[in-house]
A and B are shown apart, each in its own frame.
Chain A
């Protein structure tokens, strides 16, 4: 182990103690995870620092399969007693579960990797930067935006994280890895006679270091310069006419629609009912694999844990499965799912595609989303090319509100800004745009797709799933794309309906 989760000698001693107890207690499978999560956050409001904070937590967990059932226990006690107690409690939980389980746990095979480590490549470890530097950066952004008379309030924050994890099992794996994430958002608020409105930056969170906030991978300066004008135009814009519109959706908005309507829908644990009480199920049931028309023939979607700067990118998942890339939707047809080792075995797959993840050592790994991305078209059409092909439409930029039903059919999204298109030209902003559709209808209406030059890796830090609730970071790459005759609602009118 080459990464400093806790002192190596201690980590290995705790691991050996827990694995010995688990095995001698009848476990056929035993996984130990030790994880340290470092997070920091700075927020400013109207030119004043509101919060500067940091947290660091370390936990030790044991997961076993005994009598065919899972058992999981975890502790903050990084001692031999703590580790041993956790192993015994995991065995006890498996005994409780086995008595009422008809679903015998069995894990798909995976090669062993021995002792190995991996670190996400970044230029600047976000934990190494001083608070002063982060504060000054956000304050400079605040000053830049608040200089405009259109902006009456400014909220901004930056959040950075570093996860250092160690995984060990009975097969001899001793895998350590470290990954990073960095994000920031700034919102300008206008208050006028007609009420208030806002405009937020569109920069996605990224699997990068602090260099991301300095301009590596995102042009903050340009975005912050233009934001007040965008807000001013939005405030003065006419309200949208509800009805069917062609939509050109920018990657800064489309990533979230992909997340909700494809990412979650192709989680096989959902399709099999494991999330039925909480996050829901999926319309994309296993019987549809290989035949279901998910969208138009230009639709190709992959899952992966290997994308550079991806928030789901790792070397191994939390069951020791090596990172992979695979197809989820091919030429518009459902061709794959996200699985962990138990689900893979359950449906007869030879191998998991590495989607087991827990957001801390205190939570059990469940099947979580990898980077799920819509592939760009072969021809390098620009976003402007796509707009040029639309007679009457709306170009949507930036994500905002989102909601989707428990089988991932009916969704509704808004955005940061909406540009009306007439005869292939943008003529100005409209506001109060809400687009709503049903997943197969929406993706079936995708008639054109941008090329590699429009491709952007978006994503979120707050993907929720599971009971107890867990939060995962995830990235989604996509190009701009055109959708025909999508139902657009007027948000103001919906409120007064």
Chain B
């Protein structure tokens, strides 16, 4: 944006929205990334972008209508065009079901501060460290490093003025043997690539490749497995995404009570397992206020500015809450439960590392990554997907070799009651959902009778 700053754009938009009101959200985003394959850097990117998004509220015969538009603005005239388009869309939409009074949220003192332009993001250091890794000719290396910095300005016609900065870094390293019969992966989520040291990742994937030199064929079926924090995070994140109060209340969810209402209050596992989001989670901090444009079962423009606290969907094994907008919560007669952009999965009795947990398992399979997870049946929340980059055969508490990969068919809700052991929660990068959801602190778990439905010959 050339002529107006993003905080000014939010103020101008709200001024133009006038007494009818609305929400304005400006985002400034800078991303730098490196990608590599076959032990050589390949593509890269250095991008900057900004967007102003609006929800215009317009009184109509039977309530308040809302229209959403998004675009890039450079001048006051651009903003006026956007406001006019949003108001027009609102009139077409008619009264919003989720319309509620905006709340007077916080006014951040730094709202007028310019967006942060990160100067040193650690990318060059990552490239230099990779040069050392690529000298290892015993394997080929593949992977990705990204640093993004989002500055968000959110305002409402009720006076809310919020400014958030969200730095996000991720690093992934995959090693494959030259004959492509062995493959291992390691990933990390961080706030900066300067927090990433490549050597432990390269050691981890090299160790994985070494373990895979002894291949043990394992037939599909129901197996005792230990899921890494990354693998369990992918399953719990999907469960979180489907934990909608509205869908459960309407009888269209795994969290619906067959007799009516929801399953809140039902014990889903005998483990003292908690699944929560928390904007104040140390090291994984994220926005502590609702900033949303549009309507869904879990969110509403009209909630923008409301505080987000810690929300536990599962508390010590009991389904304790379901995500909602204020409107959805009122319809379901449940507490308003907005979610933060992170996840913590913790077992009160969880102890030790992934390796400790695998050792305690005694005999079974250690699964490092899950991939291509998709919903098969919403009623049971049956998910399918693949194991990837390391399924290790554990015998008498020791890794004896590696197995072939599998397709699994499992429900993240159904398996909760088959968890027999858990480790301590650690920060991890969910392999499947890292594009959208990278702030995760999750425990490894051991699950009985995990349905590894069919064999996959993929490496």
- B411-434 vs A, CB cutoff 8 Å, 1 = contact: the mask equals 100100000000000000000000
Residue pair B70, A54 in contact (C-beta under 8 Å): yes
Q: Known contacts being A72-B45, A495-B382, is A405 close to B38, with CB within 8 Å?
A: no
Residue A218 interfacial (CB < 8 Å): no
Residue pair B41, A97 in contact (C-beta under 8 Å): yes
CB neighbours (8 Å) of A75 from chain B are 47-49
Residue in A101, A408, A487 with the greatest tally of chain B CB atoms within 10 Å:
A101
Residue pair A51, B384 in contact (C-beta under 8 Å): no
CB neighbours (8 Å) of A327 from chain B are none
Residue pair A131, B38 in contact (C-beta under 8 Å): no
Give bound CA distance, A52 to B60, whole Å: 15
The majority secondary structure among interface residues of chain A is mixed
Residue pair A407, B35 in contact (C-beta under 8 Å): no
Residue pair A277, B134 in contact (C-beta under 8 Å): no
Residue pair B92, A278 in contact (C-beta under 8 Å): no
User: Contacting A195 at CB < 8 Å: which of B143, B180, B295, B379?
Assistant: B379
Give bound CA distance, A48 to B60, whole Å: 14
Q: In whole Å, how far is A29's beta carbon from the nearest beta carbon of chain B?
A: 14
Kindly state the interface size class of chain A when it binds its partner: 35 or more
Residue A214 interfacial (CB < 8 Å): no
Q: In whole Å, how far is A283's beta carbon from the nearest beta carbon of chain B?
A: 8
CB neighbours (8 Å) of A70 from chain B are 42-44
| Interface residues in B178-233 (C-beta closer than 8 Å to A) | 180, 183, 185, 222
Residue pair B453, A489 in contact (C-beta under 8 Å): yes
Residue B130 interfacial (CB < 8 Å): yes
- A62-77 vs B, CB cutoff 8 Å, 1 = contact: the mask equals 0000000111111111
CB neighbours (8 Å) of B180 from chain A are 281
| Interface residues in A358-417 (C-beta closer than 8 Å to B) | 362-364, 366, 401-410, 412, 414
Q: In whole Å, how far is A351's beta carbon from the nearest beta carbon of chain B?
A: 21
Q: Which stretch, A8-16, A85-93, A419-427, touches the partner chain B? A: A85-93
Give bound CA distance, A409 to B449, whole Å: 25
Give bound CA distance, A76 to B256, whole Å: 45
Q: In whole Å, how far is B266's beta carbon from the nearest beta carbon of chain A?
A: 16
CB neighbours (8 Å) of A76 from chain B are 1, 48-50, 72
Residue pair A77, B48 in contact (C-beta under 8 Å): yes
Residue pair A93, B46 in contact (C-beta under 8 Å): yes
CB neighbours (8 Å) of A467 from chain B are 33, 35, 144, 146
Residue pair B89, A96 in contact (C-beta under 8 Å): no
Give bound CA distance, A405 to B387, whole Å: 9
User: Contacting A54 at CB < 8 Å: which of B89, B128, B375?
Assistant: B89
Residue pair B45, A363 in contact (C-beta under 8 Å): yes
User: Contacting A277 at CB < 8 Å: which of B70, B90, B185, B405?
Assistant: B185
CB neighbours (8 Å) of B70 from chain A are 53-57
Residue pair B47, A277 in contact (C-beta under 8 Å): no
Residue pair B252, A405 in contact (C-beta under 8 Å): no
CB neighbours (8 Å) of A224 from chain B are none
Q: In whole Å, how far is B125's beta carbon from the nearest beta carbon of chain A?
A: 11
Q: Known contacts being A405-B458, A492-B377, A494-B382, is A277 close to B43, with CB within 8 Å?
A: no
Q: Which residue of A lies closest to B44 (CB)?
A: A93
Residue pair B409, A276 in contact (C-beta under 8 Å): no
CB neighbours (8 Å) of A130 from chain B are 92
Residue pair B372, A51 in contact (C-beta under 8 Å): no
Residue pair B67, A196 in contact (C-beta under 8 Å): no
Give bound CA distance, A436 to B406, whole Å: 12
Residue A34 interfacial (CB < 8 Å): no
Residue B142 interfacial (CB < 8 Å): yes
Residue A100 interfacial (CB < 8 Å): yes
Residue pair B48, A409 in contact (C-beta under 8 Å): no
Residue pair A410, B43 in contact (C-beta under 8 Å): no
Q: Known contacts being A76-B50, A468-B31, is A434 close to B44, with CB within 8 Å?
A: no
Residue pair A404, B50 in contact (C-beta under 8 Å): no
Give bound CA distance, A100 to B43, whole Å: 12
CB neighbours (8 Å) of B293 from chain A are 53
Residue pair A135, B45 in contact (C-beta under 8 Å): no
Residue A446 interfacial (CB < 8 Å): no
CB neighbours (8 Å) of A51 from chain B are 68, 93, 294-295
Residue B338 interfacial (CB < 8 Å): no
Residue pair B37, A403 in contact (C-beta under 8 Å): no
Give bound CA distance, A469 to B437, whole Å: 13
CB neighbours (8 Å) of B222 from chain A are 497
Q: Which residue of B lies closest to A62 (CB)?
A: B46
| Interface residues in B107-163 (C-beta closer than 8 Å to A) | 123-124, 127-128, 130-131, 134, 140, 142-144, 146
Residue pair A277, B44 in contact (C-beta under 8 Å): no
Give bound CA distance, A103 to B252, whole Å: 51
- B436-459 vs A, CB cutoff 8 Å, 1 = contact: the mask equals 000000000000010101111111
CB neighbours (8 Å) of A96 from chain B are 34, 41, 44, 123-124, 127
Residue A58 interfacial (CB < 8 Å): yes
CB neighbours (8 Å) of B263 from chain A are none
User: Contacting A72 at CB < 8 Å: which of B46, B123, B176, B411?
Assistant: B46
Residue pair B44, A135 in contact (C-beta under 8 Å): no
Q: Which residue of B lies closest to A414 (CB)?
A: B376
Q: How many A-B residue pairs have CB under 8 A?
A: 275
CB neighbours (8 Å) of A97 from chain B are 34, 41-42, 44, 127
CB neighbours (8 Å) of B295 from chain A are 50-51
Give bound CA distance, A45 to B247, whole Å: 12
CB neighbours (8 Å) of B123 from chain A are 96
User: Contacting B377 at CB < 8 Å: which of A132, A193, A364, A491?
Assistant: A491
Residue B61 interfacial (CB < 8 Å): no
Residue B371 interfacial (CB < 8 Å): yes
User: Contacting B97 at CB < 8 Å: which of A50, A103, A196, A366?
Assistant: A50
Give bound CA distance, A405 to B379, whole Å: 24
Q: In whole Å, how far is A380's beta carbon from the nearest beta carbon of chain B?
A: 35
Residue A189 interfacial (CB < 8 Å): yes
Residue A121 interfacial (CB < 8 Å): no
Q: Known contacts being A153-B250, A191-B252, A410-B457, is A489 close to B144, with CB within 8 Å?
A: no
CB neighbours (8 Å) of A113 from chain B are none
- B378-416 vs A, CB cutoff 8 Å, 1 = contact: the mask equals 111010111010000000000000000101010100100
Residue A114 interfacial (CB < 8 Å): no
Residue pair B457, A407 in contact (C-beta under 8 Å): yes
Residue A332 interfacial (CB < 8 Å): no
Give bound CA distance, A99 to B36, whole Å: 13
- B73-107 vs A, CB cutoff 8 Å, 1 = contact: the mask equals 00000000000010011101110110000000000
Residue pair A131, B89 in contact (C-beta under 8 Å): yes
Q: Known contacts being A53-B67, A405-B405, A410-B456, is A468 close to B1, with CB within 8 Å?
A: no
Q: In whole Å, how far is A193's beta carbon from the nearest beta carbon of chain B?
A: 8
User: Contacting B71 at CB < 8 Å: which of A50, A56, A69?
Assistant: A56
Q: Known contacts being A51-B295, A491-B382, is A103 close to B38, with CB within 8 Å?
A: yes
Residue B374 interfacial (CB < 8 Å): yes
Residue B348 interfacial (CB < 8 Å): no
Give bound CA distance, A292 to B2, whole Å: 56
CB neighbours (8 Å) of A434 from chain B are 376, 409
| Interface residues in A114-141 (C-beta closer than 8 Å to B) | 130-132, 134-135
Residue pair B140, A54 in contact (C-beta under 8 Å): no
CB neighbours (8 Å) of B2 from chain A are 77, 79
CB neighbours (8 Å) of B38 from chain A are 103, 272-274
Besides A51-B93, A491-B377, 16 other CB < 8 A contacts?
A53-B67, A53-B70, A57-B49, A76-B48, A76-B49, A92-B46, A100-B131, A283-B458, A403-B372, A406-B371, A410-B407, A412-B454, A434-B376, A467-B144, A494-B453, A497-B409
Interface residues of A (CB under 8 A from B): 45, 48-59, 61, 69-77, 79, 89-90, 92-94, 96-97, 99-103, 130-132, 134-135, 153, 189, 191, 193, 195-197, 272-278, 280-281, 283, 362-364, 366, 401-410, 412, 414, 432, 434, 436, 438, 467-469, 487, 489, 491-492, 494-497
8 A-B pairs in the complex with CB atoms less than 8 angstroms apart: A49-B92, A49-B94, A52-B67, A76-B50, A93-B45, A406-B372, A436-B407, A468-B31
Q: What 10 A-B pairs have minimum CB-CB distances, sorted nearest first?
A: A131-B92, A53-B68, A407-B458, A55-B70, A495-B380, A405-B458, A494-B409, A410-B456, A277-B142, A495-B382
